[in-house]
C-alpha cells in the first residue's frame, strides 16, 4: 500500500500572528538596538498557544528578556518548515521547536544546535476517536493519523509509534491538520481515525468526548514506556555560526529562558495560567486549560540541560522513520550544548545569595 500524505486545507487558514506585546518579523536577521537601547532579537515558532512553548511566552511576559537587556520579538509562523527556513535564512536568530530537528538538519548538511532544553518529555499524546476500536498504535494499520504538519515532531513520533508496534510505515496515512480548532474538527468530522497532538488540544478533545488517549508522552515515565528512552521536546535552537559570533546574545537568551523554567518550577498551574494571554485558553476555557497544564507540568525541564541518553533515543527513533537521517552518520555532540545553561545556572545561584 502506498503512503498517502495529505495537507488539510483548513490548516492553511492559520495566519502568521504574534504574541500579545510582540510584533515584527526577523528582518535581515541582524541583531541591533531598539529605541530603549535593548538588543533586538527574533525567535520563531509555530502554534504559539501550545503549552510546550510557555517558557518562551513567560520569559517575555514576565520581563526576563528585558532584564537581560534584550528586546525579543516572537514570530508565530504557520508551520515547522517555515520556522526552520526562517532560521536558516537568517531572518530570525532562534527557533523554538523540538530537539529532533537538529539531527534532521545536520543530515541535510546544516549546522544548528540546541542551547537550552525547555522540555524533558514531548508533552504529546496519541489519541483515537472514541467511536473507533483503536487501543494502541498496533491498531492503526490502514488508518488515517492526524499530525500538526508533515515533517513535524508529531509526524516523527506518530510514525515511530506505529512502526514500533509492528505497523509498517506504508500502512498508515499521515494527514496534516495543524492544532487547536482544526485538529478538533478533523476528529469531529471523521477526517482522521487517530492523531498525535499536545495540550490544550488534548483536553479539548477529551472534554468533547471525541477522543481517548492511547499513548501518553506527557511525562518522563510515559515517554520511556512508549519510546524506550527519554525523548526531549522543545528547545531553543540557533545556527552554530551565528552563536559563535554572538555568544553574549545567546547567553542572555538562555539566561532569560532558564529564569522562566525556574519560575514555572516554583508556581502552580493556576499561577502560570494567570500570566498567559487569555486567547490561549479561549477555545478550551480557563479551568480546562489549568487542568491540562497541571497534567503535564512534569514535562518542563527545570535544569534546562539535555537529559542523559536523550540524544541517543532521538537518533534511534529518527533512524527508523526519517529517510533523511537513516543511514547518515550524525555527530550528536554537535546537535546541542549545555554550556550556556550551566553558566545561567551558576549566575542564578550567585544572584540568589
Q: Are residues 250 and 115 in the same domain?
A: yes
Residue in 180, 174, 148 with CA at minimum distance from that of residue 162: 174
Of 18-27, 256-265, 290-299, minimum mean pLDDT range: 18-27
Q: Are residues 131 and 152 in the same domain?
A: yes
Q: Which domain holds residue 32?
A: 16-121+233-352
**What digits encode the pLDDT tens for the residues 128-174?**
999 999 999 999 999 999 999 998 999 999 999 999 999 999 999 99
Q: In this structure, is residue 6 part of a structural domain? A: no
Residue 215 neighbours by CB distance under 10 Å: 23
Give the model's confidence band at 276: pLDDT under 50 very low, under 70 low, under 90 confident, else very high.
very high
Residue in 224, 203, 265, 240 with CA at minimum distance from that of residue 335: 240
Query: What average pLDDT does the structure give for the chain?
Result: 91
Q: Are residues 252 and 107 in the same domain?
A: yes
Distances (CA, A) of 83 to 26, 76, 239, 333, 338: 11, 8, 13, 23, 23
Average pLDDT over residues 233-248: 98
Write down the pLDDT at residue 283.
80
Is residue 195 within 8 A of residue 147, CB to CB? The reply is: yes
Q: In this structure, is residue 248 part of a structural domain? A: yes
Q: In this structure, is residue 326 part of a structural domain? A: yes
Counting the structural domains of the chain, the total is 2
Average pLDDT over residues 35-43: 91
Euclidean distance between CA atoms 199 and 217, whole angstroms = 11
Q: In this structure, is residue 45 part of a structural domain? A: yes
Q: In this structure, is residue 44 part of a structural domain? A: yes
Q: In this structure, is residue 252 part of a structural domain? A: yes
Q: In this structure, is residue 10 part of a structural domain? A: no
Q: Are residues 155 and 99 in the same domain?
A: no
DSSP string, 145-196: EEESSTTSHHHHHHHHHHHHTT--GGGSEEEE--STHHHHHHHHTTS-SEEE
Q: Are residues 168 and 300 in the same domain?
A: no
Is residue 184 within 8 A of residue 8, CB to CB? The reply is: no
Write down the pLDDT at residue 353.
44
Choose the final residue of a domain: 203, 227, 251.
227
pLDDT higher at 278 or 27: 278
Q: In this structure, is residue 11 part of a structural domain? A: no
Choose the final residue of a domain: 227, 246, 261.
227
Q: Are residues 237 and 345 in the same domain?
A: yes
Q: Are residues 247 and 345 in the same domain?
A: yes
**What digits encode the pLDDT tens for the residues 55-87?**
999 999 999 999 999 999 999 998 889 999 999
Distances (CA, A) of 318 to 53, 107, 166: 23, 11, 16
**What digits encode the pLDDT tens for the residues 180-208?**
899 999 999 999 999 999 998 999 999 99
Name, in order, each residue with C-beta under 8 angstroms of 291's C-beta and a sequence gap of 6 or more.
203, 269
Q: Are residues 343 and 289 in the same domain?
A: yes
Is residue 237 within 8 A of residue 254, CB to CB? The reply is: no
Average pLDDT over residues 341-345: 98
Give the model's confidence band at 15: pLDDT under 50 very low, under 70 low, under 90 confident, else very high.
very low
Reading the block at residue 277, the C-alpha cell is: 494571554
pLDDT higher at 5 or 226: 226
Beta strand 70-77 with 39-46 is: parallel
Give the model's confidence band at 268: pLDDT under 50 very low, under 70 low, under 90 confident, else very high.
very high
Q: Are residues 262 and 140 in the same domain?
A: no
Write down the pLDDT at residue 11.
38
CATH number for the domain that contains residue 264: 3.40.190.10
Q: Are residues 52 and 130 in the same domain?
A: no
Name, in order, each residue with C-beta under 8 angstroms of 314's C-beta and a sequence gap of 6 or more.
99, 100, 103, 231, 232
Choose the final residue of a domain: 173, 196, 227.
227
Reading the block at residue 10, the C-alpha cell is: 483548513
Q: Are residues 135 and 112 in the same domain?
A: no
Residue 20 has pLDDT above 80, yes or no: no
**What digits encode the pLDDT tens for the residues 94-136?**
999 999 999 999 999 999 999 999 999 999 999 999 999 999 9
Q: Are residues 207 and 318 in the same domain?
A: no
Residue 7 has pLDDT above 60, yes or no: no
% of the chain at pLDDT higher than 90: 84
Amino acid at each position: 500500500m502506498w503512503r498517502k500524505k495529505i495537507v488539510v486545507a483548513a490548516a492553511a487558514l492559520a495566519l502568521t500572528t504574534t504574541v500579545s506585546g510582540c510584533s515584527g518579523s526577523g528582518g535581515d536577521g541582524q541583531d541591533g538596538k531598539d529605541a530603549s537601547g535593548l538588543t533586538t532579537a527574533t525567535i520563531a515558532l509555530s502554534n504559539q498557544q501550545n503549552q510546550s512553548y510557555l517558557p518562551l511566552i513567560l520569559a517575555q511576559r514576565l520581563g526576563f528578556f528585558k532584564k537581560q537587556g534584550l528586546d525579543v520579538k516572537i514570530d508565530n509562523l504557520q508551520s515547522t518548515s517555515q520556522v526552520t527556513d526562517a532560521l536558516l535564512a537568517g531572518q530570525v536568530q532562534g527557533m523554538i521547536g523540538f530537539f529532533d530537528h537538529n539531527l534532521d538538519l545536520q543530515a541535510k548538511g546544516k549546522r544548528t544546535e540546541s542551547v537550552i532544553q525547555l522540555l524533558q518529555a514531548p508533552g504529546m499524546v496519541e489519541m483515537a476517536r472514541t467511536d473507533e476500536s483503536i487501543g494502541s498504535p498496533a491498531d492503526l494499520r490502514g488508518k488515517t493519523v492526524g499530525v500538526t504538519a508533515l515533517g513535524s515532531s508529531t509526524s516523527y513520533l506518530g510514525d515511530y509509534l506505529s512502526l514500533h508496534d509492528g505497523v509498517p510505515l506504508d500502512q498508515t496515512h499521515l494527514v496534516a491538520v495543524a492544532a487547536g480548532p482544526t485538529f478538533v474538527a478533523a476528529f469531529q468530522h471523521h477526517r482522521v481515525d487517530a492523531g498525535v497532538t499536545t495540550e490544550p488540544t488534548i483536553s479539548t478533545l477529551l472534554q468533547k468526548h471525541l477522543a481517548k488517549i492511547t499513548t501518553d508522552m506527557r511525562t518522563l515515565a510515559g515517554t520511556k514506556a512508549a519510546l524506550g528512552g527519554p525523548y526531549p521536546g522543545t528547545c531553543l535552537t540557533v545556527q552554530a555560526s551565528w552563536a559563535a559570533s554572538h555568544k553574549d546574545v545567546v547567553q542572555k537568551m538562555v539566561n532569560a529562558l532558564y529564569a522562566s523554567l525556574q519560575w514555572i518550577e516554583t508556581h502552580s498551574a493556576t499561577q502560570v495560567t494567570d500570566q498567559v494571554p487569555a486567547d490561549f485558553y479561549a477555545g478550551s476555557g480557563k479551568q480546562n486549560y489549568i487542568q491540562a497544564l497541571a497534567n503535564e507540568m512534569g514535562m518542563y525541564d527545570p535544569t534546562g540541560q539535555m537529559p542523559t541518553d536523550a540524544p541517543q533515543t532521538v537518533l534511534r527513533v529518527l533512524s527508523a522513520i526519517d529517510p533523511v537521517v537513516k543511514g547518515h552518520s550524525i555527530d550528536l555532540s554537535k546537535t546541542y550544548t549545555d554550556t550556556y545553561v550551566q553558566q545561567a545556572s551558576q549566575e542564578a545561584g550567585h544572584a540568589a545569595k
